[in-house]
């Protein structure tokens, strides 16, 4: 055995050796942990600890945006078929001043003030929805996208506890009801109006204007809309009949430059629209007609 090895062995036998931790033999730079960034710490939390964001609220587009779109899709995609729909959405559906049609066949604001029947309104959009009302408060809303079917209100009410039902016209009625919202823009002042309705007569009024606007879109393009005045028309009922709301079409207009300049200071004379003629028989038939009917 060499002298060096003997010397080392002698040193080991010279006295007890103090046992050191493994970490003491590791250089400091290796023993240190790499700091975790705050973002990484947050991402590392289990999903259960993260606060779920509430679902996005589907709101009707502002009228200034509607005027710049290429189509009034609420009319082109109008659909009266019924089917279940589980997309629940909430939020205010009213834009501007509320329009109401009274039992006395009068047009009023939400505050009860009379509305002139000479007031010209541009029909901006139509939204269909199913709403749940409990204790005279709206608690749920399902907005029906253009072209899709109404949810099955009858089935939804049947699945609702009777404690949430109410008495209506001497009968018990479920909390769910179909509802229409027609959005208008004053052709002179650009004030906004909303006509919400769930009545039979109101639904007939909405279906009529939807059908007429969709018809014009087919032949004159999606940027065409109606200018109407508020009116009424007779409707037969099991009680003998009554007046219901009706929109009198004054003229048709088309937006030619997108309406990007709309602002609170914009005047009606500056709006980018032109009057549009109703389609001719030739346009409807999409074919040449004999000379006898030209």
pTM of the prediction? 0.64
From CA 166, how far away is CA 157, in angstroms rounded? 11
The continuous run of DSSP H or E covering 107 comes out as strand 107-109
Query: Could you tell me if residue 228 is inside a domain?
Result: yes
The answer to whether 222 and 71 have CB atoms below 8 angstroms apart is yes
The answer to whether residue 263 sits within a structural domain is: yes
- As for how many domains the chain has, the answer is 1
> What pLDDT was estimated at residue 159?
95
Distance between alpha carbon 199 and the CA centroid of its chain, in Å? 21
pLDDT tens digit string along 244-257?
999 999 999 997 65
Residue 34 has pLDDT above 60, yes or no: no
- Residue 33 in any domain: the answer is no
Take residue 169 and report the two structure tokens written for it. Answer: 């016209």
In a domain, 198, yes or no: yes
- Tens-digit pLDDT profile for residues 131-175: 999 998 999 999 999 889 999 999 999 999 999 999 887 889 999
Asked if the model's pLDDT at residue 268 lies above 80, the reply is: no
When pLDDT is cut at 50, 70 and 90, the band that residue 280 belongs to is: confident
3-class secondary structure, 195: strand
pLDDT tens, position by position, 91-128: 478 999 999 999 999 999 999 999 999 999 999 999 99
Q: Is residue 14 in some structural domain?
A: no
* Greatest mean pLDDT range, 66-75, 237-246, 271-280: 237-246
Residue 279's pLDDT band, with cuts at 50, 70 and 90, is: confident
Give a yes or no: residue 285 inside a domain.
yes
* Residue 29 maps to a domain: no
CB 125 within 8 A of CB 183: yes
| Enclosing domain of residue 178 | 63-293
Asked if the structure places residue 212 within a domain, the reply is: yes
Q: How far apart are CA 125 and CA 66, in angstroms?
A: 8
């Amino acid at each position: 055995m060499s002298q060096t090895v003997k010397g080392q062995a002698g040193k080991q036998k010279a006295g007890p050796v103090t046992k050191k931790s493994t970490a003491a033999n590791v250089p400091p730079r290796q023993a240190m942990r790499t700091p975790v960034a705050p973002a990484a710490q947050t991402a590392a939390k289990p999903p259960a600890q993260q606060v779920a964001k509430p679902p996005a609220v589907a709101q009707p587009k502002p009228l200034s945006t509607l005027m710049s779109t290429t189509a009034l899709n609420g009319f082109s995609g109008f659909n009266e078929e019924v089917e279940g729909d589980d997309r629940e959405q909430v939020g205010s559906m009213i834009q501007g001043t509320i329009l109401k049609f009274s039992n006395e066949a009068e047009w009023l604001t939400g505050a009860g003030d009379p509305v002139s029947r000479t007031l010209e309104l541009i029909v901006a959009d139509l939204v269909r929805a199913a709403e749940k009302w409990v204790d005279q408060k709206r608690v749920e809303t399902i907005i029906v996208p253009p072209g899709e079917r109404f949810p099955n209100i009858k089935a939804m009410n049947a699945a609702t506890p009777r404690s949430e039902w109410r008495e209506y016209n001497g009968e018990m009625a479920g909390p769910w009801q179909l509802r229409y919202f027609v959005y208008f823009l004053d052709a002179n002042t650009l004030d906004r109006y909303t006509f919400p309705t769930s009545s039979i007569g109101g639904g007939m009024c909405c279906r009529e204007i939807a059908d007429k606007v969709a018809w014009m879109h087919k032949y004159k393009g999606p940027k065409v809309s109606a200018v109407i005045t508020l009116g009424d028309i007779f409707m037969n009922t099991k009680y003998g009949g009554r007046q219901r709301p009706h929109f009198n079409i004054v003229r048709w207009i088309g937006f030619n430059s997108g309406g990007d300049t709309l602002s609170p200071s914009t005047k009606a004379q500056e709006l980018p629209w032109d009057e549009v003629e109703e389609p001719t028989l030739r346009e409807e038939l999409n074919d040449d007609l004999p000379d006898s009917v030209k």
